[in-house]
Each structure stands twice: as structure tokens, then as C-alpha cells.
């Protein structure tokens, strides 16, 4: 079995469990660096080697994974790497930062992750990768030791753009959840019980991802399979949103996202409005 020399910089809430997965993986020799001593000690106890600096780590790794706080810290790490090293950026950075670092002569993959500390701990992260296929091939054994879904999103920067789209959905949904909680609270409902129902049913239906099967957001042709499916979704959604808006008005609860959803659900699905417009 060939051995991949991997480095990991940044052993925080998500970085540490990712590095622990690498330390336990067959075929990977891992060296780690962090300014905090405790996580370094934990990962080295699991089988990794500790570096005294990023430059020290760079001399012992062909693939360097970075999970640090922001773009500036990523740049600091990149400044100490050799051009032949594959730099894998797991931090969520500006879409322009990976190309900026590539222009310095580095081989770069932007590979943000989704799944949080729990996914990092059990190796079930989704890792969205932008960059050249040959560099991904070099880094793939490292990535597959940390994530159960490794997606080549496209050229450099595409991984970051996919992560931003994914997180747009994540945090808009969080905001919608707070709106639903205000409505439920005003109606005298148990908010924890509501949360249990949401988690239970989203695990069955797939949540918002259940409608994300098309390859385009273009207007649907009436003969398209999805036209009938989404007409049904719109009918149910607009009915329930109408009832929710009525309840909110009765209870004096402001629900601006609900009003937007009522107006934009159909067009967002690619369906015409009552006047035929999209």
C-alpha cells in the first residue's frame, strides 16, 4: 500500500476530529500543527507527529489540509508551503482566495466541508472540492478518510461557491425556523416538541433537499415530469402558507419570510403564476 504524507493545520472544533480521522487511517502518515498545545497532544497520542511550525510541517507533507479561522490565516499557512505541495483549504473563505494563492505558484484545492463536528468525528462529512482533477486525485485518499461524500464541484473556487450555496439554504432555513417558533409560541405550543417533529420528518423526507433534483432552475415545460410534481408541491405549500399567514395575523405575529415564501414558491419551482408569468 502506498503511503500519503499528509499535514493538517488548525485543530479546532472541526479540524481536530478531522485530523483524528486521518491519524487513525491506514496508508496516511500525518503531521499536525496548531498554536494550542492540548489538541496537538490529543492528535499525536492518536498516532500523528507534531510539527514545530507550518514550515516544519510543510517539509514532511505532500498534501496539507488547512482548517483555520479566516482568509488571512490561510494566507499565512500558504506562505510557508512549497509549490509542489497540494494545499487543501477546508476553511470557508472568499471565492477569490484560492485563485489568489494559486497565482503564487501553489497547487490549490478549495474543499470546504459540511456536517459539523459530528460529521467530522464519525467521518461522514460532505467535502466539496474545487480544483484540478490531478490534484484531487493526489488528495483523494486524505479526503475520503475524513468524509463519506467527496464531490468534485468543478474548477478552483467551485467548492467554496457550492459551500456558500449550501449554507445560504442552511441559515435562511434557520431564520425561517425562528419565525415558525415565534408563531408556535404565540399559539401556545411546546417549542421543543415542534423541534422534535421537524427533525423527525426532515430525516424522512430530506427537508429542503427533497426538491433539489433538477440540473437547472429554468422554467419547466408542462410536459416535464417535474412539472406535475412541483404543481402538487406548490398547491400544498401555498395552502399551508395561507393558513399559517392567517394564524399569524390572528395572533399578531410578524412572519415576513412566510409572505415571501407564499409569493415565491411557485416561481422558484419553475412554475407560472396565475397570470402566466415566471
Catalytic residues: 163
Cα–Cα distance for residue pair 74/27, rounded to 1 Å? 26
Find, among 88, 80, 128, 124, the residue nearest to 104 by Cα.
Answer: 80
Cα–Cα distance for residue pair 85/48, rounded to 1 Å? 19
Under a CB-based contact definition with an 8 Å cutoff, are residues 28 and 123 in contact?
no
Cα–Cα distance for residue pair 186/251, rounded to 1 Å? 6
How many other CB atoms sit within 10 Å of the CB of residue 134?
10
3-class SS at 113? strand
Under a CB-based contact definition with an 8 Å cutoff, are residues 109 and 88 in contact?
yes
Write out the H or E segment, with its range, that includes residue 162.
helix 158-186
Q: How many CA atoms lie within 13 A of 148 on its CB side?
A: 9
Q: How far is CA 124 from CA 25, 119, 121, 141, 253, in A?
A: 14, 5, 8, 14, 39
- End-to-end Cα spacing for the chain: 56
Q: What is the DSSP letter of 87?
A: E
Find, among 65, 30, 22, 74, the residue nearest to 51 by Cα.
Answer: 30
Amino acid at each position: 500500500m502506498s503511503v500519503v504524507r499528509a499535514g493538517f493545520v488548525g485543530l479546532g472544533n472541526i479540524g481536530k476530529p478531522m485530523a483524528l480521522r486521518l491519524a487513525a487511517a491506514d496508508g496516511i502518515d500525518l503531521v499536525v500543527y496548531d498554536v494550542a498545545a492540548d489538541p496537538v497532544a490529543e492528535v499525536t497520542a492518536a498516532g500523528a507527529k507534531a510539527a514545530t511550525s507550518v514550515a516544519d510541517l510543510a517539509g514532511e507533507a505532500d498534501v496539507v489540509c488547512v482548517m483555520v479561522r479566516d482568509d488571512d490565516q490561510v494566507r499565512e499557512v500558504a506562505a510557508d508551503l512549497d509549490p509542489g505541495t497540494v494545499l487543501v483549504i477546508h476553511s470557508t473563505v472568499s471565492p477569490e482566495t484560492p485563485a489568489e494563492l494559486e497565482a503564487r505558484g501553489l497547487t490549490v484545492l478549495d474543499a470546504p466541508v459540511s456536517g459539523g463536528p459530528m460529521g467530522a468525528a464519525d467521518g461522514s462529512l460532505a467535502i466539496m472540492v474545487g480544483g484540478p482533477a490531478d490534484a484531487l486525485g493526489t488528495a483523494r485518499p486524505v479526503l475520503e478518510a475524513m468524509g463519506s461524500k467527496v464531490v468534485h464541484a468543478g474548477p478552483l473556487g467551485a467548492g467554496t461557491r457550492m459551500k456558500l450555496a449550501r449554507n445560504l439554504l442552511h441559515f435562511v432555513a434557520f431564520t425561517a425556523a425562528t419565525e415558525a417558533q415565534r408563531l408556535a409560541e404565540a399559539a401556545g405550543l411546546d417549542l421543543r416538541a415542534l423541534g422534535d417533529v421537524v427533525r423527525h420528518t426532515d430525516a424522512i423526507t430530506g427537508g429542503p433537499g427533497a426538491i433539489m433534483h433538477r440540473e437547472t432552475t429554468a422554467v419547466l415545460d408542462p410536459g416535464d415530469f417535474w412539472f406535475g410534481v412541483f404543481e402538487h408541491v406548490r398547491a400544498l405549500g401555498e395552502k399551508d402558507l395561507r393558513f399559517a399567514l392567517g394564524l399569524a395575523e390572528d395572533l399578531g405575529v410578524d412572519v415576513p419570510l412566510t409572505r415571501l415564501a407564499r409569493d415565491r414558491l411557485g416561481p422558484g419551482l419553475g412554475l407560472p403564476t396565475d397570470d402566466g408569468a415566471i
